[in-house]
Amino acid sequence: MQTLQNPAARPANAVAKNAIVLVSGGMDSAVTLAIARAQGFVCHALSVEYGQRHISELIAAQRVAARYAVAHKTVHVDLRSIGGSALTDDIDVPEQGGAGIPVTYVPARNTIMLSIALGWAEVLGAQDIFCGVNAVDYSGYPDCRPEFIDAFERLANLATKAGVEGRKVGVHAPLLRMSKGEIVRCGVELGVDFAETVSCYRADADGRACGHCDACRLRAQGFREAGVDDPTRYR
């Protein structure tokens, strides 16, 4: 797993390599894509339509990928068929997260998304996967922890043809230990247009945010901490 002191720094004499970047349409994944490009990777954006409550974030993912002129693929996985989350089942999204893991946690979501990214990486011959997980200002999801990213990277190198043949796969989480304010500042430095992104769990068909859910609260907190005007469109 790679988390850099300066996550946007491009290594000297770096040779452009393919990378898969998970792009959800939210602010964190947009900054992650910008970081991967700044590091000199040839990026392939991957989104997953998993049965989430709205497709506004997937439309936002298309906008973000188009802005950076990168290849973009959306894969469909029906997690609604198993439910178990307020994002994939008939469970109300709370206005504020309570104690413990909130009902907006989607069982196995990051494991599934990273597995799809790993498969596409093998097809493209890419040895690098980027994801925007964050373990500082987040909702307490177990698949956003450093231990999870480390474990998945080990799995990736055990379970793939590339790993067995010595082409080591790296799973990069450049935002992992950054606060939301630091993420906003990094995005501004890299020219990310946050107005194009959608973070809200309850966004409407036009991508306008509710302003009350955990995702909205954390997003607004980031702009306040960074001293940056919040471009989010609210209902």
Domain CATH number, residue 105: 3.40.50.620
3-state secondary structure labels for all residues of the chain: CECCCCCCCCCCCCCCCEEEEECCCCHHHHHHHHHHHHCCCEEEEEEEECCCCCCHHHHHHHHHHHHCCCEEEEEECCHHHCCCCCCCCCCCCCCCCCCCCCCCCCCCHHHHHHHHHHHHHHHHCCCEEECCCCCCCCCCCHHHCHHHHHHHHHHHHHCCHHHHCCCCCEEECCCCCCCHHHHHHHHHHCCCCHHHCCCCCCCCCCCCECCCCHHHHHHHHHHHHHCCCCCCCEC
Residue 138 lies in a domain: yes
Residue 208 lies in a domain: yes
0.85 exceeded by pTM: yes
Residue 171 lies in a domain: yes
- 40 compared with 99, residue with greater pLDDT: 40
Residue 11 lies in a domain: no
Residue 2 lies in a domain: no
pLDDT band at residue 140 under the 50/70/90 scheme: confident
Q: Domain limits at 28?
A: 18-226
Look at residue 201 and tell me whether its pLDDT is greater than 60. Answer: yes
Residue 173 lies in a domain: yes
Residue 176 lies in a domain: yes
pLDDT band at residue 157 under the 50/70/90 scheme: very high
Residue 232 lies in a domain: no
What is the tally of structural domains in the chain? Answer: 1
